[in-house]
A and B are shown apart, each in its own frame.
Chain A
Amino acid sequence: MRKYPYTEKKDTRSGFGAGLQQLGQTNPNVVALCADLIGSLKMDAFKAENPDRFFQVGIAEANMIGIAAGLTIGGKIPFTGTFANFSTGRVYDQIRQSVAYSGKNVKICASHAGLTLGEDGATHQILEDIGLMKMLPHMCVINPCDYNQTKAATIAIADYEGPVYLRFGRPVVPNFTPADQKFEIGKAVMLNEGTDVTIIATGHMVWKAIEAGEKLAELGISAEIINIHTIKPLDNEAILKSIAKTKCVVTAEEHQMNGGLGDSVAQLLSRHTPTPQEFVAVNDSFGESGTPDQLMTKYGLDTVNIIEAVNKVIKRK
């Protein structure tokens, strides 16, 4: 099992903030909007350095999405920032009509996704956002795994023409991917080559997949670990190639089982290579208040859950 040393834990939202700050310095067409959560989204630096290109819209997310759509007309590249819940479910029709159907070059940047938002509870812990966004035709859906990757993703999506949903989170997690990585939209990242099982993870679950891979190696199980930062378009080729070797798969995501990454993988496999699959995801439930770690344990999104799923799926081969 390949080692992934890291020197510090950082939050992915800060990676977004850093990426946005860099875009502010390098791309004059990038503009940013926020709905009263500048600090939470780490948009302070962009705002301070580019006051004319920053729009505080107040607690009015529907208006923010519409303004962002309008800003594209004349060549701006708007990045909207708020919590994932208010970035998707709250404004679904605005995104659907004014952004996706209208083909507008809006980057919907969403923090505090999933259970790891923690103590605020289920009203804010959206676990349906990936599903909502990936269902929209031509919407690109990205869920990077750590600070460096989120920063790289933020910078990369400015050069992608079309609507993007960029999902990240609140807690600090190991920052293990290279600072100088080239972020390729739609391209899976092979973290560990293995032969017994493929673990496909996204977002915060990628580090847990690495931890699971290490423990599985001690048990004599060789896990291939793939970081899927782009859920749509999915890197079909990378997944099919891996499955051809391992013949079984575990998907892991901080999201509902319905509508998430696991669904996308299952759809791919059922059409090309029917393959035993286990899902590490929230099973048709809302979250609740608690610390991020407590919640990930209670709702079955821990390293141990990935290991259990691996043991189960290998038996089904």
Chain B
Amino acid sequence: MADITKLKSLSIQVRRDIVRMVHAVSSGHPGGSLGCTEFLVALYNGVMNHNPKKFTMDGIGEDLFFLSNGHISPVFYSVLARCGYFPVEELKTFRKLNSRLQGHPTTHDHLPGVRIASGSLGQGMSVAIGAALTKKLNKDNSIIYSLHGDGELQEGQIWEAAIYAAANKVDNYIATIDYNGRQIDGNVDDVLSLGNLRAKFEAFGWEVIETEEGNEMAAVLEGFSKAKAFIGKGKPIVNIMKTEMGAGVDFMMGTHKWHGSAPNDDQLQKALDQLVGNEVDY
């Protein structure tokens, strides 16, 4: 079992990385990144079986993660770096010319830890299903994970993939929905309501679990445990995880305004003052 104290400490540092990265280039997506910090910290440091020191694209024998909502690249990069996929110092190149840390993740520049480009939304579930099918063909019992924004579920391809996964019993796969209720233009309910999301996935034939406190490390770990219990049971699994966009920085919470805006110098300092931990900045 993962050491929760350590994971919480790491989450503070990842949040510091996120706000510093987007501040440095006055662009990027801090809101969803902050909201998914516990999820990614837990996944890479307590849930997945993976080998950060020896990254291979094929990932034979390893659990694999696909970030479908690629705009939350800051949290992805920070977590990858801090578990050893690439040097932490490289975070300072985020969104800069000649960097491997593109605005949205890509395999193009061979950044260890990234297995698919994402950014144009709605594509990651299909990719994850493909990877899950290859795991089955290879008789590799590893698990495939993916993360999707709730707004992203407005893309039709997601539902093509959802039909496929259930019809073909892709049961070595856990999709997680970052259910923060916000997207660029406002509340998801106002932009294009998803209605009853649980009922939708159930109707599509998925095993649905819910994580009510997606920014509480213990709850996130418990969510993974609950989801993993359904592996190999004949259904794809979805974890609807409630999070708070901007979690951890008080003035970034309760609004969609920090979806894709970076803090200025004062705002950065205010944020960092709220994120005091024991790890070291890059």
Q: Which chain A residues have a beta carbon within 8 Å of chain B's beta carbons?
A: 31, 52-53, 55, 57-58, 60, 62-76, 78, 93-94, 96-98, 101-104
Q: Nearest Cβ in chain B — how far from A165, in angstroms?
A: 18
Whether the Cβ atoms of A74 and B129 lie closer than 8 Å is no
**B137–A52 CB distance below 8 A:** yes
The answer, among B64, B66, B108, for a CB contact under 8 Å with A101, is: B108
| Binary contact readout B112-146 vs A (1 if CB under 8 angstroms, 0 otherwise) | 00011111101111111111111101101000000
- Interface of B with A (CB < 8 Å)? 57-60, 64, 66, 106-108, 115-120, 122-135, 137-138, 140, 156-157, 160-161, 163-164, 167-168
- Whether B134 lies near A58 (C-beta < 8 A) is no
Give Cα distance in the complex from A266 to B50, angstroms. Answer: 50
Whether A73 lies near B129 (C-beta < 8 A) is no
Complexed CA–CA distance, A98 and B172 (Å): 21
Find out whether the CB atom of B134 lies under 8 angstroms from the CB atom of A98. Answer: no
Q: B133 and A97: CB pair below 8 A?
A: no
Query: Which residues of chain A have C-beta atoms less than 8 A from B126's C-beta?
Result: 62-67, 69-70, 94, 98
**Cα distance A101–B138 in the bound complex, in angstroms:** 25
Give the nearest-CB partner of A100 in chain B: B117
CA distance A64 to B127 in the complex (A): 9
Q: How far is it, in angstroms, between the C-alpha of A305 and the C-alpha of B57 when the chains are bound?
A: 50
Residue of B nearest to A53 (CB): B137
A68 to B133, CA, bound (A): 10
Contact A97 B131 (CB under 8 A): no
* Cβ contact within 8 Å between A94 and B157: yes
* Chain A residues with CB under 8 A of B59: 73-74
Chain B: minimal CB distance from A32 (Å): 12
In the complex, chain B residues whose CB is within 8 Å of the CB of A57: 164
Choose one: A52, A62, A102; the contact of B116 (CB below 8 Å).
A102
20 example contacts (A-B, Cβ-Cβ < 8 A) are as follows: A53-B137, A58-B163, A58-B164, A62-B123, A63-B160, A65-B126, A66-B161, A67-B130, A70-B66, A70-B127, A73-B58, A74-B58, A74-B60, A74-B138, A75-B58, A98-B123, A101-B106, A102-B106, A102-B117, A104-B116
* Among A60, A62, A94, A98, contact of B163 (Cβ-Cβ < 8 Å): A60
Q: Nearest A residue to B168 by beta-carbon distance?
A: A55
A67-B133 contact in complex given A58-B163, A75-B58, C-beta closer than 8 Å: yes
Cross-interface CB contact of A62 among B138, B156, B167, cutoff 8 Å: B156
Which of A65, A70, A98 has the most chain B CB atoms inside 10 A of its CB? A70
Closest 6 pairs between A and B when the two form their complex, measured CB to CB: A70-B130, A66-B126, A74-B134, A63-B160, A60-B160, A67-B130
> How many Å from the CB of B145 to the closest CB on chain A?
13
Instruction: Known A63-B126, A76-B134, A76-B137; judge A70-B157 contact (CB<8 A).
Output: no
Q: Which residue of B lies closest to A106 (CB)?
A: B130
Is there contact, CB below 8 Å, between A71 and B156? no
The answer to whether A93 touches B161, judged by C-beta atoms less than 8 angstroms apart, is no
Contact for A70 among B133, B160, B168, CB less than 8 A:
B133
- With contacts A66-B123, A69-B130, A71-B133 taken as known, whether A97 is within 8 angstroms of B118 at the C-beta atoms is yes
